[in-house]
Homo-oligomer: A and B are copies of this chain.
Amino acid sequence: MLTHTEENYIKTIYHLSGDANRDVSTNGISEVLKTKPASVTDMLRKLSEKSYIHYIKYQGVTLTKKGKKEALQIIRKHRLWEVFLVDKLKFHWDEVHEIAEQLEHIHSNLLISRLDEFLGNPAFDPHGDPIPDPQGEITIRKKYLLCDMAVGFNGVVVGMLETSPAFLQYLDRLNICPGAKISIKERIVFDGSLEILLQEDKQLVISYEVAKNLYVSD
């Protein structure tokens, strides 16, 4: 069974590696996990030993099949707990990450399948990210930046490009959150700002700067 720490490394490698399974660097991992590169090297040797990663000195890492499977299970747990926190415990979607970071390490398959059922088998987490199924399969949903959509577009907010607290708080003030319905009424040519209809009832104008950082899907 993996330790807390090993799980965090594997998850980080998955996130840095992306769909294309790109090589991940020692420094990259150390930045995300806030450890020193020397510590990362130690852990890489260990995870390689246990065959969770492909690792050749000085050449970067990728996950093995086994490692990727493990990563997807951790991500599944993380995102299911996030749904629980937001849907059931009324947390705001931008304050659940830290707690889910702890909950994702609870070991019990039965717990997770019961939680999944309790939540109604959600496909996406509160940030619009897909929740892997028990086999680790993920539904990929095409997403676009709102600024690239035409007048008349009709869809749903599925995430943000920029994730600074300042931006998230501003979105919150506008009542824009993942899952919110959006349609584009008009585009102001002068500054690229958009007149939108939110949740089919609120009309408002958002700047190009905002539209450039909002992912939507139809």
Contacts and interface: CB of A to CB of B under 8 A. Distances in A.
A90 interface: yes
A170 B110 CA distance: 23
B103 A89 contact: no
Nearest to A98: B108
B102 A89 contact: no
A114 B111 CA distance: 20
A188 interface: no
Within the oligomer, what is the number of copies of this chain? 2
A114 B89 contact: yes
Interface in A103-142: 103, 106-108, 110-111, 114-115, 118
A91 B103 contact: no
Interface string A77-101: 0000000010011110000001100
Contact of A106 (B88, B103, B110): B103
Nearest to A115: B89
A99 to B, nearest CB: 5
Contact of A89 (B91, B98, B106, B111): B111
